[in-house]
C-alpha cells in the first residue's frame, strides 16, 4: 500500500497527487513515468512523474475515465495498492544551447521537471504552455520561475494568447536558433505541433502515451512505429524523435478499448465509488 499524502484539483478536472513511494522517488528523473494500480480489481495505468521530493512523487492527471476518476476521489491519507517506477528512459538532458518546451493540457505536468533539468545543464529554456481555456491551465507559476521566457496560449483566448501552442512554436523557431524541442500533450497535439520544427530539422522529442500493461517490455501492448521500426514505448521510450513517429498508428491503438472505457465510466458514474457493490 502506498499513501497519498496530498491531493488537489489544480485546474478543471486536472488533479495533483503526492504519493509516498521512496523506491520511485529516489531514482526518478525528468521524463520518466510510473504505473499505478488503485486496488485489487484495478487496472494498471501509466502516469508521468511530474516531480519527486524526498520520498514523495507528484503525479498530475486529467480525470478522463474510470481509473483517473477513482484516483481523483481518493482523499489525502488514503492508499493505492501499487506504484512501480521510475519507468522508461529519462529525457536527453545535456547542454543543447536553446531549448523550447511545449506542454499541452495535462501534458504540461511533465514540463517543469524537464525544464528544470535542462536549465541546470546550462541551457536557455523557453516554455510554451497551452490549454483549452484559462480554467484548464496548470503550472504557469512553476514554469515562469524556471524558464527564461514563458508563453501562454488558450484555444478560446480566455488567457494569454488566443490560439495554439503550435503557433507560438512556429514563430519562435522562425525568430531564433533553437537547438532542441520537447512537445508533450495529447497525441493529436504532438502530431500537429511537431510539424513546426520538421522543415528546419530541429531535434524534437515527443513523449508517447500508448496503452500499456506491464511497462517493463514484457507484453508488447505499447508498441509504436518509429522510423519504420517497432519499438516498445515503455522501455525504448517514452520519448522519441517526433519526426519519426507514426502518430496515426498511435491514435488508432489508443482507441481500441473505447467501448469498454465507456462502459467502465458509466458504471463508475452510477455508483461513484470503488467499493465492491459498484463493480
Partner 1 sequence: MGDRPAEVRIHDFLEVDTGFSPEEAIAEANRCLQCKKPACVDGCPVNINIPVFIAEIAEGNFANAAVSIKTQNMLPAICGRVCPQETQCEILCILGNKDKPIRIGQLERFAADEERRTGIKPQDKKPSTGKRVAVIGSGPAGITAAGELAREGHSVVMYESLHLPGGVLTYGIPAFRLPKDVVNAELDQVLKLGVEVKLNHFVGKSVSLSELLTYDAVMLGTGAGLPYFMNIPGEHLNGVYSANEFLTRVNLMHADQFPRFDTPIAKASRVVVVGGGNVAMDAARTARRMGAKVTLVYRRRSEDLPARLAEIHHAEEEGIEFITCANPTRILGEQVVTGVECVRMQMCELDASGRPAAKPIDGDTFTLDCDVVIQAIGQGPNPVLVREIEGIERGRAGNVIADGDGKTSHPKIFAAGDVTTGAATVILAMGGAKKAAQSICSYLTSK
Ligand X SMILES: Cc1cc2nc3c(=O)[nH]c(=O)nc-3n(C[C@H](O)[C@H](O)[C@H](O)COP(=O)(O)OP(=O)(O)OC[C@H]3O[C@@H](n4cnc5c(N)ncnc54)[C@H](O)[C@@H]3O)c2cc1C
Q: At CB < 8 A and 24+ separation, what contacts does 149-154 make?
A: 149/125, 150/126, 151/126, 151/127, 152/128, 153/128, 153/129, 154/130
Dihedral (CA of 18, 20, 23, 25) sign: positive
Looking at the Cβ atoms of 97 and 220, the one nearer to partner 1 is 220
92 close to 51: Cβ distance less than 8 angstroms: no
Give the footprint of partner 1 on residues 119-148 (CB under 8 A): none
Query: Is 219 annotated as ligand-binding?
Result: yes
Query: Is 147 annotated as ligand-binding?
Result: no
Looking at the Cβ atoms of 199 and 275, the one nearer to partner 1 is 275
Give the footprint of ligand FES on residues 228-247 (CB under 6 A): 232, 234
Element at 82 (helix H, strand E): strand 82-87
Cα separation, 249 vs 2, whole angstroms? 35
Q: Please, what is the minimum distance in Å from the beta carbon of residue 273 to partner 1? A: 14
24 close to 36: Cβ distance less than 8 angstroms: no
Distance of CA 29 to the CA centre of its chain: 14
33 binds ligand FES (CB under 6 A): no
Cα separation, 48 vs 103, whole angstroms? 13
212 binds ligand FES (CB under 6 A): yes
From residue 61 to residue 80, what is the string marking binding to partner 1 with x (rule CB under 8 A)? -----xx-------------
- Single out the residue of 74, 196, 222, 224 in contact with ligand FES (rule: CB under 6 A): 222
Q: Which does 249 bind (CB under 5 to 8 A by kind): partner 1, ligand FES, ligand X, none?
A: partner 1
183 binds ligand FES (CB under 6 A): no
Q: Please, what is the minimum distance in Å from the beta carbon of residue 222 to ligand FES? A: 3
Residue linked to cell 502530431: 191
Give the footprint of ligand X on residues 96-125 (CB under 6 A): 106, 109
79 close to 1: Cβ distance less than 8 angstroms: yes
Binding-site positions for [2Fe-2S] cluster: 219, 222, 234
Q: Which residues bind partner 1 (CB under 8 A)?
A: 23-24, 27, 32, 37, 41-44, 66-67, 81-87, 213-221, 223, 225, 230, 235, 249, 252-253, 255-257, 260-261, 263-264, 267, 279
Amino acid at each position: 500500500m502506498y499513501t497519498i499524502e496530498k491531493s488537489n484539483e489544480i485546474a478543471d478536472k486536472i488533479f495533483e497527487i503526492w504519493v509516498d513511494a521512496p523506491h520511485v522517488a529516489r531514482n526518478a528523473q525528468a521524463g520518466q513515468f510510473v504505473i499505478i494500480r488503485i486496488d485489487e480489481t484495478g487496472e494498471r495505468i501509466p502516469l508521468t512523474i511530474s516531480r519527486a521530493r524526498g520520498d514523495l512523487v507528484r503525479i498530475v492527471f486529467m480525470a478522463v475515465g474510470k481509473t483517473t476518476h477513482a484516483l481523483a476521489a481518493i482523499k489525502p491519507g488514503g492508499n493505492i495498492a501499487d506504484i512501480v517506477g521510475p519507468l522508461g528512459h529519462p529525457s536527453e538532458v545535456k547542454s543543447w544551447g536553446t531549448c523550447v518546451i511545449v506542454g499541452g493540457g495535462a501534458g504540461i505536468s511533465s514540463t517543469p521537471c524537464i525544464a528544470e533539468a535542462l536549465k541546470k545543464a546550462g541551457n536557455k529554456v523557453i516554455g510554451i504552455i497551452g490549454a483549452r481555456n484559462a480554467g484548464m491551465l496548470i503550472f504557469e507559476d512553476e514554469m515562469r520561475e524556471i524558464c527564461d521566457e514563458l508563453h501562454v496560449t488558450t484555444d478560446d483566448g480566455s488567457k494569454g494568447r488566443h490560439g495554439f501552442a503550435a503557433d507560438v512554436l512556429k514563430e519562435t523557431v522562425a525568430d531564433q536558433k533553437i537547438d532542441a524541442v520537447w512537445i508533450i500533450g495529447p497525441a493529436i497535439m504532438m502530431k500537429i505541433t511537431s510539424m513546426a520544427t520538421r522543415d528546419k530539422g530541429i531535434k524534437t522529442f515527443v513523449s508517447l502515451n500508448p496503452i500499456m500493461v506491464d511497462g517493463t517490455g514484457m507484453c508488447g501492448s505499447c508498441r509504436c512505429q518509429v522510423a519504420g521500426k517497432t519499438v516498445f514505448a515503455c522501455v525504448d521510450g517514452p520519448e522519441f524523435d517526433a519526426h519519426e513517429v507514426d502518430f496515426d498508428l498511435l491514435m488508432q491503438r489508443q482507441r481500441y478499448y473505447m467501448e469498454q472505457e465507456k462502459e467502465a465510466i458509466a458504471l463508475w458514474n452510477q455508483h461513484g465509488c470503488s467499493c465492491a457493490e459498484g463493480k
